[in-house]
Structure 1
Amino acid sequence: MILMLKMRCVCSFTTLTWFWFAWTHVADFLCRVSSYFDSRGWMRIYSEHREDFKLKWCVTKSPAKYRSFREGRHLMYQIPNNMVLTTKIGLLRSLREFEQVGRKVQHGHRWLKMEEFIPSTYRMDMKKERELFFSHFTQQEAVESCMWICKPTNGSQGRGIFLLKNTQDPLLLKFAFSHSLAFSPPQASFPNIRYIQKPLLLDGRKFDVRSYLLIACTAPYMVFFRHGYVRLTCDVYDPMSNNLSTHLTNQYVQKKHPHYSELKEDTVWSMESFNTYVNLRFQVAKGLPRDWVLGAFARRMQQIMTQCFFAVKDKLDCRPGFFDLIGCDFLVDESFKVWLLEMTCNPALNADCEVLKEVIPRTVSETLDLTLELFSKCRLRKKILPLASQKDFVMLYSGASDHACSKTSNGIKLDKKKIKRNHTTQPKRESKVEGKKGADNPLPKVTSSL
């Protein structure tokens, strides 16, 4: 499915502006985006080979899709090398490198240790870590029973995920690796992640929280957080169940449940409903502050997301015109510790239940409002802050100074060395860690009371 639109007079673009859109699923989201642009005078165009577009929304990334991009003139959804943040191994590598550098360079902040928000993880595509995992598992099993979850680094919708639940499973996996069974290099690119066996439950069911990280502008960086929604399983939680739908909360997996159509509305909660539930069930019993969900929990998510952004800030392709909306999934365990499960590019934006019909359209509209406002202000050399379109999104980081963006006659003035360094769509080699350059405005300190 491809969509392109043309605009008559929006913000300060040229008289005719075109919008190109490619989406592989959900017609309702296609209609929602079309409605957004229709109401603002944009017109759709249908050829992906045209180069006179102003905004291109792509789901899948390929060199061909970025070939026609012109920095400072075009807007394009998805930063080309966002895999340093949105793949499981990419994020793991970025955080490890950042933690190593962070011990020496604090930038005035107290960064979290990875073990405070990332479950123990081993890369199975690296021999040393693979052997360390098998050794660790054997020792750990002698002390306590533990489970591990294996996720393909580029996977989505629950595809390719499996659990290691007993002492025999890792032995079988080790045998498969040692005999090269079913694991060619691409298949071996998955991390083994320690499974949180005692998650907090809502009415006996496992859940996680989908929040959003918006990089609305890359030159200068403008980064935002937004609340999303709670995703629950259909079935009551049983850690020893062989049914993946008991362990995975995403809607693609839950839709396979035989009673999903009847339970659908109860598999997605609003953050307000989650907050009310925690106030009623856990505030007194666990000694939590009132509105823990909307207060301490929200701040913790923001703190983690900010650290993840800083881990990739000097790696991302920051040519002006790129923007990205990233889905961030968090789990809360029974002791109310917050864990980051993963960050995903191109998060699902379909709205097939009442909560999503409220959350998704507002998220999409404000994402585009902020992106267009920032792009327009930079082109016109206007002061960036305050942002008239900012409503539900919370600013995590601003690289904008108080004065207007420095521009050339044809758009944003660029640091050519930085562009050359960042334009590649491939992540850096593991052994190389780039230091930070320049003096950005300091990040507002984020504190958390958990």
Structure 2
Amino acid sequence: MSAGSRGEVVQSGEELQGEDHVCIDSPKATEERQGEAEDEEQGHLPAIPGKTVTLEPEGKDKQHKRTEVEKSLGRRQDARGTNREQVIQADGAAADSICLVERSQSVCVSRRAQVKHQRRAVLVHNLKRNRDKSPEEPQRPGPFFYFGGGNGASIVVTYCESKGWQRIFDKTRLDYTLKWCELKSSSTYYHFRAGEQLVYQIPNNRVLTTKIGLLNSLREYDRVSSKINHGKGHRRLKMDEFIPDTFRMDIKDEKEAFFSQQEGLCADRSNIWICKPTGLNQGRGIFLLQTPEDIAAFRARMQTVAGSHTNKKIPFSMSQALIAQRYIQNPLLLKGKKFDVRSYFLIACTSPYMVFFRHGYVRLTCDLYDPKSNNLTAHLTNQYMQKKNPLYSMLKEETVWSMERFNSYINEKFMVPKGLPRDWVLSVFTRRMQQIMTHCFLAVKSKLECKLGYFDLIGCDFLIDEDFKVWLLEMNCNPALHTNCEVLKEVVPSTVTETLDLAMEIYNKCRCGLKLLPLSSQKDFVLLHSGETAVVPLTKQRSRTAGALRTACSRSRSSSKKL
């Protein structure tokens, strides 16, 4: 059943839950309802077109109790004075089914029976409607592909159809060559045939793409790496160099350490923390701790949640585990606005590993940055949050910058005052992002499930502070692939297309036992790690995008000199 169908059923049920009973009259309707009431007494539900449902017969005691309840409901209605004429139209009912209600002719139906009847009617209607609308499944020889969800649908579907592949809509079919879904399904991985199929998203990518998963992986990798002699000239990257101080609120010792740290601190806004649910994205569930009062309220909330878990009042899975992370209050600003940089991390193959980096775009807020603001849209830069800003429709194109524009702005505004090298964005900053991505990959390399056919595109969000230090904010599975801005129209489709090109070229070469490198489909992605060879030196690589950006910038400078 579709999400829309489920929503209609829930809505119908919720609307009816506020009513004690429904009264129906008119000679014809009254006669029909009396017949249905008799059927219910015999253990049958009201008739639903195309579906017959029966209930187990009730005993005399149950029938007596139900009669008493209905009489009580009738008396309650009399007491309320609601026996005057009314016009009621049930949700989803036809226009001619509006009936006048009179006390003398009304037949009362229990709320539970009416809700069941309504839900079944909506279910049958929507199942029939969906069956009529659903396209026919292709049966002739493939290859077939399945796409589930809406994120990037037009790009992926167009790409596959351009290859002559046929789209299937039955998610239970196993004869696909490519399966791209927003949400992972255990059934998909259970039936997956390695070396015969391609599946988007590695099944246990949570060790990299959830807040707690990434935090645990990096902590464990730091512990192991600190005991290894890496030799002279090989400086090991440390986690605290690119991840702000972070505490897990689902671990008692860390939670207590966090609150102990906050005690005795000055009551100003120089000690701000940001709390994030581990498995959510698009800014959902995020909130700031800006004052001692905020922290005290948060502590009380954590104690309540802990007590609920101890007393088993709510399942642990019902509450999202949280992290508390130090908020970077001195971010670098672009025209007075906070921003972060979305880059792409591609695992094109897991057996062997083939890992790539690609430039993305810059995301800015609509409002000027104010660290004291309680408005989350001034602190979170993603498009989902910015769309909530009333100025978004006017400033939409200014909320996303290309990397070329970002590079030019840094050259113009900060190169001389901060003593930065020219094209700092495309050189120093790019290498730093690649180093951090490689470090994160090495932290999970031994944890990820490796089968030929798994591939994953991950969105990595970086923040730069006033001192031009680079911070990794998070890594996201199934990154947003919408194209509602001009910059996104240039970046996103080419990113998805090259992702599929690389994944399929590597996949086909592995199946045929061919040498993987060089890759004819590699354009803007930069290889970070190859399972065929040693780790690729980052300084010896340059993507076509970076080269094109440098060329454009140099041409712009030379033309300005001539003028």
TM-score per shorter chain, which class?
0.7 to 0.9
Aligned partner (choices 143, 152, 155) of residue 17 of structure 1:
143
1:220·1:400 contact (CA, 8 Å) conserved in 2?
Answer: yes
Asked if 1:137 is matched to 2:262, the reply is yes
Q: CA deviation at 1:63?
A: 0.9
Mark the CA change 1:322 to 1:209 in structure 2 (over 3 Å): closer, same or farther.
same
Q: CA deviation at 1:445?
A: 5.8
User: 1:273 is paired with a residue of what secondary structure?
Assistant: helix
Partner of 2:359: 227
Asked if 1:157 is matched to 2:282, the reply is yes
Asked if 1:285 is matched to 2:411, the reply is no
Where do 5+ consecutive residues of structure 1 fail to align? 9-14, 402-440
Aligned partner (choices 65, 68, 76) of residue 188 of structure 2:
65
Mark the CA change 1:446 to 1:204 in structure 2 (over 3 Å): closer, same or farther.
same
For residues 41-440 of structure 1, the aligned pairs below 5 Å read 41-105=164-228, 109-141=234-266, 145-180=270-305, 185-186=316-317, 187=319, 189-401=321-533
1:330·1:340 contact (CA, 8 Å) conserved in 2?
Answer: yes
- Specify the code of the residue in structure 1 equivalent to 2:294: D
Mark the CA change 1:354 to 1:152 in structure 2 (over 3 Å): closer, same or farther.
same
1:3·1:45 contact (CA, 8 Å) conserved in 2?
Answer: no
> Greater Rg, structure 1 or structure 2?
2
Aligned partner (choices 512, 517, 537) of residue 444 of structure 1:
537
Mark the CA change 1:5 to 1:66 in structure 2 (over 3 Å): closer, same or farther.
farther
Write out per-residue CA displacement over residues 36-61 of structure 1, whole angstroms, 9 at most, x where no aligned residue: 11211111111111111011001111
Partner of 2:42: none
- Specify the code of the residue in structure 2 equivalent to 1:350: H
Q: CA deviation at 1:328?
A: 0.2
User: 1:118 is paired with a residue of what secondary structure?
Assistant: coil
Aligned partner (choices 153, 158, 162) of residue 39 of structure 1:
162
- Specify the code of the residue in structure 1 equivalent to 2:182: V
Query: For the residues of structure 1 that align with 2:282 and 2:408, how far apart are their CA atoms?
Result: 29
User: 2:213 is paired with a residue of what secondary structure?
Assistant: helix
User: 2:346 is paired with a residue of what secondary structure?
Assistant: strand
User: 2:366 is paired with a residue of what secondary structure?
Assistant: coil
- Specify the code of the residue in structure 2 equivalent to 1:73: E
Q: CA deviation at 1:318?
A: 0.5
Query: For the residues of structure 2 that align with 1:317 and 1:251, how far apart are their CA atoms?
Result: 31
User: 2:156 is paired with a residue of what secondary structure?
Assistant: helix
- Specify the code of the residue in structure 2 equivalent to 1:346: N
Q: CA deviation at 1:117?
A: 0.1
Write out per-residue CA displacement over residues 74-124 of structure 1, whole angstroms, 9 at most, x where no aligned residue: 100000000000000000000000000011225564321111100000000
Q: CA deviation at 1:34?
A: 1.6
2:137·2:170 contact (CA, 8 Å) conserved in 1?
Answer: no
Write out per-residue CA displacement over residues 266-295 of structure 1, whole angstroms, 9 at most, x where no aligned residue: 000000000000000000010000000111
Mark the CA change 1:165 to 1:69 in structure 2 (over 3 Å): closer, same or farther.
same
Mark the CA change 1:357 to 1:176 in structure 2 (over 3 Å): closer, same or farther.
same
Mark the CA change 1:371 to 1:4 in structure 2 (over 3 Å): closer, same or farther.
farther
User: 2:277 is paired with a residue of what secondary structure?
Assistant: coil
Query: For the residues of structure 1 that align with 2:267 and 2:240, how far apart are their CA atoms?
Result: 22
Query: For the residues of structure 1 that align with 2:434 and 2:416, how far apart are their CA atoms?
Result: 25
- Specify the code of the residue in structure 1 equivalent to 2:206: M
TM-score normalised by the chain length of structure 2: 0.68
Mark the CA change 1:140 to 1:294 in structure 2 (over 3 Å): closer, same or farther.
farther
Query: For the residues of structure 2 that align with 1:387 and 1:303, how far apart are their CA atoms?
Result: 22
Partner of 2:94: none
Mark the CA change 1:183 to 1:245 in structure 2 (over 3 Å): closer, same or farther.
farther
Query: For the residues of structure 1 that align with 2:432 and 2:474, how far apart are their CA atoms?
Result: 15
Number of aligned pairs? 399
Mark the CA change 1:98 to 1:183 in structure 2 (over 3 Å): closer, same or farther.
farther
User: 1:341 is paired with a residue of what secondary structure?
Assistant: strand
2:269·2:372 contact (CA, 8 Å) conserved in 1?
Answer: no
Query: For the residues of structure 1 that align with 2:375 and 2:268, how far apart are their CA atoms?
Result: 26
User: 1:66 is paired with a residue of what secondary structure?
Assistant: helix
Write out per-residue CA displacement over residues 170-216 of structure 1, whole angstroms, 9 at most, x where no aligned residue: 11111222233897544361110000001000000000000000000
Write out per-residue CA displacement over residues 320-347 of structure 1, whole angstroms, 9 at most, x where no aligned residue: 1100000000000011000000000000
Query: For the residues of structure 1 that align with 2:482 and 2:138, how far apart are their CA atoms?
Result: 24
Q: Which structure is richer in relative contact order (CA contacts within 8 A, separation 6 or more)?
A: 1
Q: CA deviation at 1:141?
A: 3.8
Mark the CA change 1:133 to 1:7 in structure 2 (over 3 Å): closer, same or farther.
farther
Query: For the residues of structure 1 that align with 2:263 and 2:539, how far apart are their CA atoms?
Result: 39
TM-score normalised by the chain length of structure 1: 0.85
1:3·1:21 contact (CA, 8 Å) conserved in 2?
Answer: no
2:146·2:167 contact (CA, 8 Å) conserved in 1?
Answer: yes
Mark the CA change 1:356 to 1:188 in structure 2 (over 3 Å): closer, same or farther.
closer
Write out per-residue CA displacement over residues 368-389 of structure 1, whole angstroms, 9 at most, x where no aligned residue: 0000000000011111100000
Mark the CA change 1:309 to 1:4 in structure 2 (over 3 Å): closer, same or farther.
farther
